[in-house]
Structure 1
């Protein structure tokens, strides 16, 4: 079979519009339902294929978590029935983390959900400059339960790959034919400000370098699992990872959730425009929401 030309592979751009970013970190972060709705619509208009959003309080669970998502995104889906989006997980045990998903799906389309297939330490620098923080834990039983939920409900897993071990777990499910339909691996690279973006020098995972990306692609080779790249605590566009990913058939994950530069506070639309410009430079057309659903084989 002849190789597919890069210009024949549409680039999927996902925009993570807020996350746990506070206005102190970036005053342009959308937090209430009205702001989230306006930001999501503007990003879809600007070329985004997928929107990932948190609501204003990640500690909320159940209906308290579901209702702000519905308020924010139901009008978006009414205006753009093709739109692809997914909320984040909440706090608590596994049941609590996902309880709001079914409530949202009962009210409006939900084709994708977040799955974090592994555990990692997350933190920042303490007074002595050494790492302090905690462990984000998702054990094998919880991962299995997450994939089972996806399979049972027809949800595609948007899989966050914080560390190579996360991908090892995903590849095991793929190897035995148990990876749910629509799975996409989001390769997270840790820049110098890390996830907290409050101190330099303590981060997670692999750095945003050429060889780090190639190491992940060695692991993914032959699987056919779609993948994207993002840089947390830094600027994806200032690293070699973004262009190389596009040149090698991957996709981009940008947005205020992960971006940090102490000298810049961009909007999501500005970050999206930079990603679109790079796609144009590399010669990758932008994937529409409909094309993205087909490319990922969403349920």
Structure 2
């Protein structure tokens, strides 16, 4: 069973003082999460900008991790451009560094925002990935031998991904992450499907018998405390968790969240995968 730890995201120290932000904090937290049972680490950086600049900021946090744990799997988020457009090309220099084996691909678009005093969702931000942008992201995966880590915010994102699979064009090493949203969502307003058994059933019906590895995550909640986590483990799924999406009443560390996931896996009878085992389970391409 693969545990992926998403260790920071847009969370600030005011929300959770335990969130790692600097490259040094990211490196220390990533190593601690790997030691606790995580097989994959996902992180954001505090400096975006040109692709080479963003890539070097990632590498400052990753080099100590890979020096200490050479088999570790760690990958970035997208790199927003000056106009807010979503970019994937920073993953090219990351792949060329030899430290990247997994790439992010977000195969769709979604409204993300908060709520007004009346409870109505507000805001003008659309997280947008056109079909052309998705094709470009998958092209980077194929060209640079990267396994795509595919976030599913909405059911249509999964159907787009499966169109690539059915056409025989989905890059090797793909993993699907089903993002269930609480009413709180990412920044205040919900999206997609709630973390319920019926919602999981709906996603698995869409997935059908395609042999793609999949994981569950709860945005704005606590995936380990949600019923959907145990149901996923019982059905052969994996777990995506961490401070990035946590929305409970605590201010946990990433290690605490990973440790709780390991305990749930043991209770269900699913052994936890190491990074090398996860690479085999996902069939990540080799250079």
**TM score, norm. by length of structure 1:** 0.92
CA–CA distance in 1 between the matches of 2:86 and 2:244?
22
The question of 1:203 aligning with 2:194 is answered no
Q: C-alpha distance in 2, partners of 1:195/1:247? A: 27
1:171 equivalenced with 2:158 (yes/no): no
Q: Distance in 1 between matches of 2:19 and 2:210?
A: 36
1:140 maps to 2:131: yes
Give SS of 1:81's match: coil
User: Is 1:98 paired with 2:88?
Assistant: yes
Specify which of 264, 269, 284 is matched with residue 283 of structure 1: 269
Q: Does 1:31 align with 2:21?
A: yes
User: In the alignment, is the contact (CA less than 8 A) between 1:52 and 1:86 conserved in 2?
Assistant: yes
The CA deviation at 1:207 is 0.1
The 1-side partners of 2:165 and 2:101 are apart by 20
1:224 to 211, 230, 247: 211
Deviation for aligned residue 1:96 = 7.0
Q: CA deviation at 1:106?
A: 2.5
Q: 1:70 aligns with which of 59, 67, 85?
A: 59
1:236 match: secondary structure: coil
The answer on 1:242 being equivalent to 2:233 is no
CA-CA distance at 1:104 after TM superposition: 2.0
CA contact (8 A) 1:62 1:96 kept: no
Whole-Å Cα distance in 1 between the matches of residues 72 and 34 of structure 2?
8
TM-score (norm 2): 0.95
Deviation at 1:166, TM superposition (A): 0.1
SS at match of 1:205: coil
Is contact 2:85-2:128 (8 Å) kept?
no
CA deviation digits over 1:133-156, x for unaligned, max 9?
A: 221110111111111111111111
1:95–1:146: structure 2 CA closer, same or farther, 3 Å change rule? farther
Distance 1:29 1:221 in 2: 37
Shift of 1:105: 2.3
User: Once the 2 structures are TM-superposed, how far is the Cα of residue 258 of structure 1 from its aligned partner?
Assistant: 0.4
Count residues in correspondence.
283
The residue number in structure 1 matching 2:78 is 89
Worse-superposed segment, 136-145 or 88-97: 88-97
Distance 1:23 1:194 in 2: 19
Alignment of 1:212 onto 2:199: yes
Residue aligning to 2:176: 185
Structure 2: stretches of 5+ with no match in the other structure: none
Distance 1:99 1:167 in 2: 23
Displacement, 1:94? 10
Distance 2:84 2:256 in 1: 35
- Distance in structure 1 (CA, Å) of the matches to 2:201 and 2:176: 14
How far apart in 1 are the matches of 2:260 and 2:37? 11
User: 1:45 aligns to what SS in structure 2?
Assistant: helix
8 Å Cα contact 2:49/2:79 also seen in 1: yes
Task: Using the TM superposition, name which of 93-102 and 275-284 deviates more.
Answer: 93-102
**1:159 counterpart residue number:** 150
Question: Secondary structure of 2:113's partner?
Answer: strand
Unpaired runs of at least 5, structure 1: 1-10
Q: CA RMSD in A?
A: 1.5
Contact 1:74 1:108 in 2 (8 A): no
Matched with 1:273 is 259
Once residues 211 and 43 of structure 1 are traced to their aligned partners in structure 2, the CA distance between those partners, rounded to angstroms, is 31
